Amino acid sequence: MEKETTVHPCAPHTSNRTLLLYYLAPYALYVLIPFTTESQEAIYALRLSLVPVALAVCWRRYIPLTGPKSIGISMLWGAMAGLFGCALWVGLSIPFAPQDIHAPWTPRAFFLRLAAATLLVPVFEEYLLRGYFFRLALQWQRAKKKGSHSPLSEALDDCNVAEIAPGDWSLSAIFLSSLLFALGHRPFEWSAALVYGVLLSVVWIRRKDMISLVSAHAVTNVSLALYVRHWGHWTLW
């Protein structure tokens, strides 16, 4: 189940405590922008303008997007997992969703949100949750296994998430990253988000790269948006 730590050759000498700021910054910016205006169109225009800048600034601190396997095959895996994930999301969310409402989105706002959900959200969410917290949980667990007196501090201050070899995993890493992913969604989506987090963890284990995760998340978001627009289940959006 669990391998020994393998240091990635490109791992920078930066602690996880410092790296958290870089992994969290684009997510935080995306979440905070709605506090600046009530216009949905303005919110997504700002997100599409500012979040890519934050990603560009932080990118050199991130783990590699690609891994040891074929990029094309990983993207194909991501596309298939994304479609399956959308079906899971709809099936697990609808029984708990509140009553449908009329579309709160103008056509322009819808397509701006679709662009953000496709181009931005999969990148910063996957890097934060599966790229950072998944790996941090694995390093925390390894520190506990070694008998560290302060395993979380050791994982934060003495480790770098880039030291985790592609595809390394543990049950606790899967659970923690999936739980955090679920908590970032509405309560009626929690069961769907937990299962989806496990699905993407499996993709990570099989493909050993971030590009398959980002591809899967992007395909899921596009598929869900098209489903909602066609069937009018706007509470899922």
Domain segments of the chain as ranges: 16-236
229 and 111 Cβ atoms separated by less than 8 Å: no
Name every residue whose Cβ is closer than 8 Å to that of residue 229 and which is 6 or more positions away in sequence. Answer: 103, 110
Q: Which two tokens stand for residue 187?
A: 């309560």
What are the counts of helices (DSSP H) followed by strands (DSSP E) for the chain?
10, 0
How many CB atoms within 10 Å of residue 160?
A: 22
Name every residue whose Cβ is closer than 8 Å to that of residue 75 and which is 6 or more positions away in sequence. Answer: 211, 212, 215
- CA–CA separation, 86 and 99 (whole Å): 20
Name every residue whose Cβ is closer than 8 Å to that of residue 100 and which is 6 or more positions away in sequence. Answer: 232, 233, 234, 235
Q: What DSSP state is assigned to residue 37?
A: -
How would you write the pLDDT of the chain (237 residues) with one tens digit per residue?
444 444 443 344 799 999 999 999 999 999 999 999 999 999 999 999 999 999 999 999 999 999 999 999 999 999 999 999 999 999 999 999 988 766 678 889 999 999 999 999 999 999 999 999 999 999 999 999 999 999 999 999 999 999 999 999 999 999 999 999 999 999 999 999 999 999 999 999 999 999 999 999 999 999 999 999 988 888 898
pLDDT at 233: 87
Identity at 212, one-letter amino acid code = S
Question: Helices 210-231 and 107-119 meet at what angle, rounded to 10?
Answer: 160
Say whether pTM exceeds 0.85: yes
